[in-house]
Structure 1
Amino acid sequence: MDYTLMPQRPIICIDAKSFYASCMAMLHGLDIMSTPIAVVANLKQSGSVVLAASPMMKERFHIKTGNRRYEIPNHPEIRLFEPKMNFFIEMSMMITKLIANYVPLENIHVYSVDESFVDLTGTEKLWGAPEEIAKEIQKAIMDQFRIPSAVGMGPNMLIAKLALDLESKKTGFAKWSYEDIPTKLWSVNPLSKMWGIGKQIESRLNKMGIHTVGGIANTDLKELEEEFGIIGNQLYHHAWGIDLSTIGEPILTKGQISFSQGQMLMRDYPTRKEISVVLLEMCEDVMRRTREAGFTARTISLGVSYSRQAMTKSFYRSKTIPIPTNETMVMFRVCTELLDEHFAGEPARQLSVRVTNLERERSIQLDLFDENKLKRQLLGPTMDAIRAKYGTTSIMRAASYTASGTAIKRNILLGGHLA
């Protein structure tokens, strides 16, 4: 691979370690590195998930993100907290403002509440070599907020992220170049450890006999494109460390690939009827966001994970429809069809819905045999406008008022957790 024409910019990816736990430690005057801390979604529910754990909690008690409340031992040194999402978001914004002391705002891309990409191009005359600036920003975050961080550095956003995930989260700082890709990336296994590869794609790659990133890099590009389409092209070039995206580029110009929602249920939902209530609420939210962004979708996906006591594996299935849609009830109908086809009758504990294969919404395609289509097309945006003006719960479907509904309770949450 000829890297001479590829981007060569000093990009860093900064990750605030155990961010939620670090914020709570700062708020209560605790040392994040020596105090076992866990942030739990709801302390009153034994099955509630651990959202973040401090390094000492992981090391001494083997509790990490994804564990449950009941798995945390009863120990006098352990400190447990519920999330304060407004505070976490405020802290994230303050860290971004701190970084903006070193680079222009347009050089910062906030990837998530605890992670940002920063382009250090052009700052050498003010602050010195990019590596020195990166470490200075790291030190400033620690000095001002007592929040430790890890930094990955590379010539593009992809390599900076890979350096962060695969090395600097253990060492604190890592700098990769294009030349490091064969020695540091290609041996990665399982494939889902690489940024951008999920379990579904990993499974399909494994069926092709590909089990390492090096295997992707050395597979014929046409073969990958035949299997995955445009995603195959991306997989191939990412395996070589090639990424042409730039910081500050609007998301939609790069291609919005999906709208989705996942929900961890706070109790077992044993029947199709109960599951359908939550699915309707989730479809409502996903299609609202799809309409607001001006898209329609052809492919609709449903994922169901069962209770831990279940004997059946979870499933994730998709269906592509002939006419793209952004109607809630069309998406819901497809989801219930997938549910009817694949639901094993076991208690469900986690649901996810997603729309992909997006197209820009243009004129409405009328149907001679469907006289109500135009009315339905207008109904969704009308409901969206009412909710935007008067609040999410100002207009609800009747199913949300049943015992199975979750939308009303979730309305008081931020990011799915206590504000």
Structure 2
Amino acid sequence: MFDYSKLPIRNVLCLDMKSFFASVEAVERGLDPMETLLVVVANKNRKGSVVLAASPKMKELYGIKTGSRFFEIPVNNKQIHIVESRMALYVNYASKVIQILEKFAPYEAIDVYSIDESWICTDGTEKLFGNRWEVARKIRETIYEETGLPSCIGIGPNKFLAKVILDIEAKKNGIAECKYKDVEDKLWPQKVEAIWGIGKRMQKNLNRMGIFKVGELATTPLNKLKERFGVMGEQLYWHSWGVDLSPVIQDWEFEEEQKSISTGITLMSDYGGEDTEIVILELCEEIGLRLRQSFLQCKTVYLGIEYSKDIGGGFGHSHTMNDYSCISNQIYKECISLFRKYYQGFPVRKVSVAVSNLQNFDNLQLKLFDEENQRDLSLSFALDEVKNKYGKHSIFKGVSLFKNATAKERANKIGGHNK
């Protein structure tokens, strides 16, 4: 048995907002999130559209869950609410949840994992809110009272165990805890694929080694796992014993230097060369704006193109310019040069643009630009002011009004989903 006596024991909660998008849509309609039949899809006009969230009742009665497809939903059932995603609304509710968490722990003790999951370290708050179980109950009650949303919480001495017990018990029971002494009874009987951090590919690799349960992973020699999977193998071994030394208090003073800026889009249909060039221009406009907002210039430009599924393949190439720039038109010229050099005439389905080799700029550096670039730069900053004041999608280039342009459509989306 592993000696846990020297490991830190923290009060870590892992919060999950149950069926978050679907619950928000239910609350907005005055419905009970736990009893309503509701599905959130990316696009109601596409039969193959992905289900982004489903209410607990939809999962229970029809097996519809995140990742299912629109055509799997029994649309003839009039009790089922089928709605399109509204990301701006979900982000707003997520912000409300974080504000509630800040009532129970300092900001640096809150680690937001995703839009609907967070870790909270409640060390030192016992006199204010009680022990870890009491504060977990209070957090759930406060979230429900202020937002109407259901939630569940896993409790552990570290992030990993809090997250694992959330997934295997708390999502059914509301609150659950896994201490170090519980690992053998609660964690080891689980299938490896049920454990956070183990995907399908890793599951297959472990199964080939005869490892199907977490307990079997724990009893596999560490050197064998390291030899097979490297650093990941070592992490798998320690996680199987419930060991996780990742920090539970965030150090917000650390700031990593930004190394690149990228953007891209998967197109709704196959595009030819001329229409693809319009999309490239729109992406370069976005890249330029982000560079200037961050007071950065780039020297290396990358263009990635993926062809239609029927064709397969594509290309990705980069070019380093002679001088640094934050002007969208210059980035576009580099991308178009790459596109026309490598494009083979096949239908395009995905376009990506990235810039790297970044450096900060100041006013003195900008004065070194030649007259033409100074004019382009002045115009860029003038347009940036308009976008900063009225929104980044308040002004478009004329080509964005063309039929197959994407900027106006992307303006109505957050993270690729409807606002």
Normalising to structure 1: TM-score of the pair? 0.69
**CA separation of 1:221/1:148 partners in 2, compared to 1, >3 Å: closer, same or farther?**
same
> Out of 182, 192, 197, which is 1:194 matched to?
197
Measured against aligned partners, the alpha-carbon deviations of 1:359-391 in whole angstroms (never above 9, x if no partner) come to: 55257999xxx9689646666555433421343
**CA separation of 1:404/1:52 partners in 2, compared to 1, >3 Å: closer, same or farther?**
same
Deviation, 1:407, is 1.1
**CA separation of 1:149/1:374 partners in 2, compared to 1, >3 Å: closer, same or farther?**
same
- Cα distance in 2 for partners of 1:220, 1:57 equals 40
Measured against aligned partners, the alpha-carbon deviations of 1:231-262 in whole angstroms (never above 9, x if no partner) come to: x9799669746555554533862555664445
Question: How many percent identity over aligned positions?
Answer: 29
**CA separation of 1:388/1:185 partners in 2, compared to 1, >3 Å: closer, same or farther?**
farther
- Cα distance in 2 for partners of 1:153, 1:339 equals 56
Q: How does 1:47-86 map to 2 (within 5 A)?
A: 47-74=48-75, 75-86=77-88
- Cα distance in 2 for partners of 1:186, 1:67 equals 24
Deviation, 1:268, is 0.7
- Cα distance in 1 for partners of 2:337, 2:169 equals 43
Asked whether the equivalents of residues 33 and 56 of structure 1 are also in contact (C-alpha less than 8 Å), the reply is yes
2:22: which partner in 1? 21
Q: Which segment is superposed worse, 10-19 or 170-179?
A: 170-179
1:361: which partner in 2? 360
Counterpart of 1:90, as a letter, is N
**CA separation of 1:234/1:361 partners in 2, compared to 1, >3 Å: closer, same or farther?**
farther
1:311: which partner in 2? 310
Deviation, 1:292, is 2.4
Measured against aligned partners, the alpha-carbon deviations of 1:204-256 in whole angstroms (never above 9, x if no partner) come to: x99xx9x99979975898999xxxxxxx9799669746555554533862555
SS at match of 1:38: strand
Asked whether the equivalents of residues 301 and 353 of structure 2 are also in contact (C-alpha less than 8 Å), the reply is no
- Cα distance in 2 for partners of 1:250, 1:269 equals 43
Asked whether the equivalents of residues 410 and 416 of structure 2 are also in contact (C-alpha less than 8 Å), the reply is yes
- Cα distance in 1 for partners of 2:90, 2:135 equals 25
Normalising to structure 2: TM-score of the pair? 0.69
Deviation, 1:149, is 2.0
Q: How does 1:16-415 map to 2 (within 5 A)?
A: 16-74=17-75, 75-142=77-144, 144-157=146-159, 160-161=162-163, 164=166, 168-169=170-171, 172-175=174-177, 188=192, 194=197, 218=223, 240=238, 242=244, 244-245=246-247, 247-250=249-252, 253-254=255-256, 259-265=261-267, 267-295=268-296, 300=302, 302=304, 304=306, 306=308, 310-313=309-312, 319=318, 321=320, 328=328, 329-330=330-331, 333-334=334-335, 337=338, 341=342, 345-346=346-347, 348=349, 351-353=351-353, 359-362=358-361, 375=374, 381-415=381-415
**CA separation of 1:39/1:303 partners in 2, compared to 1, >3 Å: closer, same or farther?**
farther
Measured against aligned partners, the alpha-carbon deviations of 1:98-141 in whole angstroms (never above 9, x if no partner) come to: 33332344533444432333221211122222243224322443
Deviation, 1:188, is 4.5
Asked whether the equivalents of residues 109 and 248 of structure 2 are also in contact (C-alpha less than 8 Å), the reply is no
Asked whether the equivalents of residues 108 and 249 of structure 2 are also in contact (C-alpha less than 8 Å), the reply is yes
Deviation, 1:299, is 7.8
Asked whether the equivalents of residues 12 and 248 of structure 2 are also in contact (C-alpha less than 8 Å), the reply is no
Deviation, 1:78, is 1.2
1:228: which partner in 2? none
Structure 1: segments with no counterpart, 5+ residues: 225-231
Highest CA radius of gyration, 1 or 2?
2
Q: Which segment is superposed worse, 31-40 or 323-332?
A: 323-332
- Cα distance in 2 for partners of 1:257, 1:416 equals 23
Asked whether the equivalents of residues 261 and 354 of structure 1 are also in contact (C-alpha less than 8 Å), the reply is yes
Measured against aligned partners, the alpha-carbon deviations of 1:138-173 in whole angstroms (never above 9, x if no partner) come to: 244345544222334444556645654676556654
Q: Which segment is superposed worse, 122-131 or 334-343?
A: 334-343
Deviation, 1:41, is 3.3
Counterpart of 2:121, as a letter, is D
- Cα distance in 1 for partners of 2:315, 2:189 equals 28
- Cα distance in 1 for partners of 2:252, 2:142 equals 29
Q: Which segment is superposed worse, 283-292 or 325-334?
A: 325-334
Aligned residues: 394
Structure 2: segments with no counterpart, 5+ residues: none
**CA separation of 1:125/1:390 partners in 2, compared to 1, >3 Å: closer, same or farther?**
closer
- Cα distance in 2 for partners of 1:121, 1:85 equals 33
Q: Which segment is superposed worse, 21-30 or 319-328?
A: 319-328
Measured against aligned partners, the alpha-carbon deviations of 1:15-72 in whole angstroms (never above 9, x if no partner) come to: 2121111011122232323332112334345454433211232343343334444443
Asked whether the equivalents of residues 279 and 332 of structure 1 are also in contact (C-alpha less than 8 Å), the reply is no
- Cα distance in 2 for partners of 1:340, 1:117 equals 48
Asked whether the equivalents of residues 84 and 418 of structure 1 are also in contact (C-alpha less than 8 Å), the reply is yes
**CA separation of 1:333/1:153 partners in 2, compared to 1, >3 Å: closer, same or farther?**
farther
**CA separation of 1:62/1:288 partners in 2, compared to 1, >3 Å: closer, same or farther?**
farther
C-alpha RMSD over aligned residues? 5.1
